[in-house]
Chains A and B, each alone.
Chain A
Amino acid sequence: MKKTVKLKTPLVNRIIKSLRAGDEVKLSGVIYTARDRAHKKLAGLLTANKTLPLDIKNAVIYYCGPTFCKGKLGSCGPTTASRMDNFLKPLAKAGLRATIGKGKRSYAVREIIKKHRGVYFVTYAGCAAYLSNFIKSYKAAAFPELGPEAIYEFNVVDFPLIVGIDAYGEDIYSDI
């Protein structure tokens, strides 16, 4: 039976284990944006044994490159998660618990999520104006030189998500 739950960050073990693929989640708390080039940088830092510019332990990463207008946050929908598949392993090892994006991910990602007791959420793709209503504040967190691909810290309230891959490796997209 699919359920709807309200959750707060940090997403600790007990919460993650209670989620099943297909559940609807309304997430409140702190999430970090990061997409292709930020991932390349984060993975590079981990390989070189350097400190990351954000606390990755139990963190949530949102695959998103938002828009801004005169200092105000604009549209902020998810980007294709599979482009970040190859970067998940080192980040999950460093403590990353959850990712938010759109679309189907690789079989390898399912295994990584299962091993590290993580979760992959999908959210409403192409609905970036709608999603902006759930983001209450933001601040720059790292890599400002990447422009729209910089890492931002979002403070979200009831951000709408669906569990895409759960901690048991179940995937809502396994049939398609």
Chain B
Amino acid sequence: MKAGIVLVVLGVVLLLAGSYLGLFVAPAEQYMGDVQRIMYVHVPTAWNWMLVVITTFVSAILFLFTANAKYDARVEAGLEVSTLLAFLLCCQGSIWAKPTWGVWWDWDPRLTSVAVLLVAFVGILALRQFVDDPRRRAVWSSVATIIAAVDLPIVYFSVKWWNSLHQQQSTPQTVSSQFHLPLRLNAFGVLCLSFGFVVLRTIVAARRLEQEMAAPPIAGEAGELA
């Protein structure tokens, strides 16, 4: 619990510092001007989205092998946080794309893959809502998470063949050194914030699961329900 709160607070502080530097200190980009400043949140969101998706995928595999409920809680947390990050990613991308490319949306491999996985994860979260048996819910959502995550590279690859316009990924090497510090600060900020959310959400999910698994308190009540 404490670790999660510390991570969230640290994330907010880092994000505030990085965004201040990115908005007011770093120079405007030569061709895109101030629009480019959205990259200070967009790129860190993209990196951390990938990290959260990978941890969710790993938790799903671990759940299928160990059947340990703690991994199910992690899967639930990972699904929700990566859905949030993917949604933010699509919004930030659209805000950047409109003034730069002139369109809100483009059928680029990265954009499309994020959108596809966003819909897939929303579908899995919906499935979780409709399954009452906690054991089945855990197994099915792990299976669906694995299937969706395996799909990601295939979607990326196929859409890349289909159409491409997105610029090459940014790494600190391709970015001028004046942009480094805000980008790095924000990358760690979003990292702390996302994993703080994952940790807190895992605790909530685990407690909820515990409650579901616990025997009904009074025998008479259970009899009435049945």
A binds B: no
